[in-house]
Amino acid sequence: MSHPHQTIDLAETLVAMRKQESTSYKCHDYLEKLGPKLQDSPRGVSSHGVHAHDPSDKHFLNPRWREKICEWYFKMVDHFDFTREIVSISLSFLDRFLCAQQQGEERAPTTEPQQAQLAAMSSLHLAVKLYEPRKIKMSSLADLSRGHFTTEMIERMEQMILLTLDWRVHPPTPLQFMHLFFKLLPLPEEQKQDFFELARFLTELAICDYYFVTEMPSNLAYAAILNALEFRGSHGAAPISARAVQEFLHEMLRVAGLHCDSAIVSAARTRIREIYLHSAACPKQGNVLLDSPQGVADRENKYNYSEQ
């Protein structure tokens, strides 16, 4: 159990972060008005870099395009050995920029394929520049574009992104919320780390899904933790007492104001489960993630949770 003063500080931090995610850093569905071809498969990203689309392709900006951008971000941060949270930050920049460009404009610049690709590349460079001690040379990114973009174009787009976002470049991320939520989980640090790694993995799968663009990072983080708890239990690994889970659920409601059975959290858990089941990492063995978070505490025998 956290010290009372630490719990108060944690609650105040969470209130501030949750206010940020629902106001200054909130993103809306910027693909909604792009028409019936929203689900068309794009052709935009390879493992080598971000390519401009055919100028005649009017429906390139869709969930699959964003997913490929996210995958490219992960490849880049892993290649350069940056923290993977850079991907969440880059996506926040890109999503909010595209959202602002789509709102109130009949023909926003980023509805053109090449400009959207440039915005994606510039968002990554900006995130690295702000959050990593080591940098990516702008010339290296320009080379990855295979001649489509120059360093000057990337620099101009960065300035456009900063101005459009009104310099709001410190988004609350799912991982930040996760670190705070895990302070409320009454487990030894070593055991807690096992759950944290699994929850972080589920979060990394989820952020590539356009569904979570409009969802609060706090809900995504909590849903990933709940799924991680059930995932581990259903495989008989890392036993955790029903009492400990119940205490965690209670503290999350009391300190963070999040209910495990709320419609939003439940929907997020279902979506994460679907993403995981379709991922290459899923072992495809039985019922991996179950549907009621309260069941983590209520059905400990079924999930092989310890009573100690």
What's the confidence (pLDDT) of residue 5?
67
What's the confidence (pLDDT) of residue 282?
62
* Same structural domain, 65 and 152: yes
Token output for 220? 């995504």
Count of structural domains, the chain: 2
Instruction: For tokens 């350069």, name the residue.
Output: 80
The domain in which residue 201 lies consists of: 174-303
Q: Which of 50-59, 81-90, 139-148, 229-238 has the highest mean pLDDT?
A: 81-90
Within 8 A by CB and 6+ apart from 298, the residues are 242, 292
Token output for 73? 């971000």
pLDDT band at 118 (very low <50, low <70, confident <90, very high): very high
Q: Per the domain annotation, does 216 fall within a domain?
A: yes
Token output for 261? 């059975």
Q: Per the domain annotation, does 5 fall within a domain?
A: no
What's the confidence (pLDDT) of residue 32?
83
* Same structural domain, 148 and 185: no
Q: Per the domain annotation, does 12 fall within a domain?
A: no
What's the confidence (pLDDT) of residue 264?
98
- pLDDT tens per residue, range 189-236: 988 998 999 999 999 999 999 999 999 999 999 999 999 998 875 554
What pTM did the predictor assign?
0.84
Token output for 62? 């869709």
Q: Which of 113, 143, 164 is the last residue of a domain?
A: 164
* Same structural domain, 179 and 160: no
* Same structural domain, 159 and 46: yes
pLDDT band at 279 (very low <50, low <70, confident <90, very high): confident
* Same structural domain, 103 and 76: yes
Q: What is the rounded average pLDDT for all residues in the chain?
A: 83
CA distance 132 to 266: 34
* Same structural domain, 83 and 190: no
Least confident of 14-23, 68-77, 131-140: 131-140
Q: Per the domain annotation, does 22 fall within a domain?
A: no
Q: Per the domain annotation, does 208 fall within a domain?
A: yes
- pLDDT, mean of residues 67-96: 97
* Same structural domain, 199 and 116: no
* Same structural domain, 183 and 296: yes
Exposure string (b/e) for 118-134, b if CB count within 10 Å is 16 or more? bbbbbbbbbbbeeeeee
Query: Under DSSP, is residue 50 helix (H, G, I), strand (E, B) or coil?
Result: strand
DSSP code at position 252: I
Q: Is the pLDDT of residue 164 over 50?
A: yes
Q: Which of 164, 199, 230 is the last residue of a domain?
A: 164
The CATH number of residue 140's host domain is: 1.10.472.10
Distances (CA, A) of 66 to 41, 53, 149, 182, 199: 11, 14, 19, 29, 22
* Same structural domain, 74 and 184: no
CA distance 8 to 284: 42
Q: Which of 130, 145, 164 is the last residue of a domain?
A: 164
Express as a percent the part of the chain with pLDDT over 90.
62
Token output for 188? 């030894």
Q: Per the domain annotation, does 1 fall within a domain?
A: no
* Same structural domain, 186 and 296: yes
